[in-house]
């Protein structure tokens, strides 16, 4: 059997105090090894302070250029930071968020990704590839030997519920089918009563599953090692 390693990465760190509490709990009591920081939000200061004091948690940059939700017929913006088609504006905003990250955390990010995966489309894709190469860090699902798994998410892309996916049984099933090599398993733990989001109850369910003793106990039996981005080739 080949070697299987998993980076369990929590998105949206810093978006609200409740999200911070969920990420921290899933790290201290559960299987989360890494987080992606949203620097634009007021709770980012507390999230960064935690990261500085706890070297066991990898922290990368979660580039935040906007958020959209599906109203049943079309995608609607919850907020826009910059137009995604304006390359100059995107570049300036990415540079600003990277500088803010380094100021808050006191070091460069260990990895890069983006809110709602906007970096999978141009021109954001090319700009973040350039940034990741300059930093020498992995960029989620783009040109990296680290496979990304987004299966641990309790809704479809359009926001329909997926019952059971973010349960203990659902998480174990995902872990059981991980391939050889290193996989980043994305997650969104949190307590989101303080956040305008359509993904609220699912976040709390994620915290429960990520911290469940059955999940912690099965990893050695599955011969899966938890790890972080540090020391892994981009």
In the chain, the N- to C-terminal Cα span, in Å, equals 24
* Residue 52 within any structural domain of the chain: yes
Number of domains the chain is built from: 1
| 179 found inside a domain | yes
Tell me whether residue 234 is in a domain: no
Give the CATH number, domain containing residue 82: 3.20.20.370
Q: Helix, strand, or coil here: 40?
A: coil
Q: Is position 163 within any domain? A: yes
Report pTM. 0.96
Residue 233 lies in a domain: no
pLDDT score recorded for residue 234: 66
pLDDT bracket for residue 1 (50, 70, 90): very low
Q: How confident is the model at residue 48 (pLDDT cuts 50, 70, 90)?
A: very high
pLDDT of the residue at 120: 96
Verify cis geometry, omega within 30 degrees of 0, for the bond prior to 46.
Answer: no
Q: Residue 210 domain-assigned? A: yes
pLDDT at 159: 87
Confirm whether 231 is domain-assigned. no
Asked, for residue 232, whether it belongs to a domain, the answer is: no
For 214, what's the count of Cα atoms within 13 Å in the CB-facing half-sphere?
10
Interval 185-199 mean pLDDT: 94
Could you list the residue range(s) of the whole structural domain that residue 147 is in? Answer: 4-226
| Token reading at 16 | 């609200």
């Amino acid at each position: 059997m080949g070697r299987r390693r998993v980076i369990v990465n929590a998105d949206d760190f810093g978006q609200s105090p409740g999200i911070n509490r969920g990420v921290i709990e899933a790290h201290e009591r559960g299987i989360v090894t890494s987080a992606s920081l949203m620097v634009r939000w007021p709770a980012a200061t507390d999230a960064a302070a935690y990261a500085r004091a706890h070297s066991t948690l990898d922290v990368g940059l979660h580039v935040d250029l906007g958020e959209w939700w599906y109203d049943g017929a079309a995608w609607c913006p919850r907020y826009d930071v910059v137009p995604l088609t304006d390359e100059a504006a995107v570049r300036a905003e990415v540079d600003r968020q990277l500088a803010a990250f380094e100021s808050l955390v006191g070091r460069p990010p260990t990895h890069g990704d983006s809110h709602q995966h906007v970096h999978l489309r141009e021109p954001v894709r090319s700009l973040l590839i350039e940034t990741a190469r300059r930093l020498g860090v992995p960029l989620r699902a783009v040109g990296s030997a680290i496979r990304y798994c987004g299966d641990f998410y309790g809704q479809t892309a359009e926001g329909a519920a997926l019952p059971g996916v973010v349960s203990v049984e659902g998480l174990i099933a995902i872990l059981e089918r991980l391939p050889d090599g290193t996989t980043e398993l994305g997650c969104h733990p949190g307590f989101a009563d303080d956040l305008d989001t359509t993904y609220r109850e699912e976040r709390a369910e994620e915290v429960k599953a990520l911290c469940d003793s059955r999940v912690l106990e099965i990893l050695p039996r599955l011969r899966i090692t938890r790890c972080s981005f540090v020391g892994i080739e981009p």
